[in-house]
Amino acid sequence: MNFLIKYKLWLLILVAIMLRSLDISYPAFTPDEARITYRGFTLATTGEDELGRRFPLIFNGAEDYQFPLVSYITSLGVLIFGKSDLGVRIPFVLIGVVLIFLTYKNALFLTGDKKFGYLASLLVAFSPPLIFLSKIPNETIVLTTRFNCHRGIPYFQICLIFNSTCCVCHTFLLREVIEFKR
């Protein structure tokens, strides 16, 4: 019993990983995911998107423009696990799990109470919308995790690098969108 109390955050994270990856192929693969998968595969193998541009900062869809973060994260998963449901979705499952840990650290920083940290991370771990969003390639779970990175957690340097990288990418993206509109 003492083991469970001592390691309850890690047990919660383990249960959350199992819950998110239990049926990784659900929900069904959508055309948007297929496009992101193909884009991630071409980025991982040739460094080009489907239009032949080398490492672009904005992606053109059929009827919209997409931010690059999801495509580049997907390319890492496709590079490691191949073109499969697992390769496309596992990076976002891991990002969803990191969100649970960051929620615990943020609650602990804000309140100083471990019980409140466990409760907050429990709510995030078993929240149906967050489970769903961490199983599909989307920007929502990535940005939610990004905004949970702040100075209060002990791993400030890692979060600072992540936030700085996101800000630099968004700056270049904005510059490219402005030049595209001219």
pLDDT of amino acid 161: 61
| Positions of the chain with pLDDT under 50 | 1, 177-178, 180-182
- CB 39 within 8 Å of CB 71: yes
Cis before residue 91, ω within 30 degrees of 0?
no
pLDDT of amino acid 95: 92
pLDDT of amino acid 168: 57
Q: What are the helix (H) ranges across the chain?
A: 2-6, 8-21, 31-45, 68-81, 85-111, 114-125, 128-133, 139-147, 156-181
- Predicted TM-score of the model (pTM): 0.78
pLDDT of amino acid 44: 87
pLDDT of amino acid 103: 87
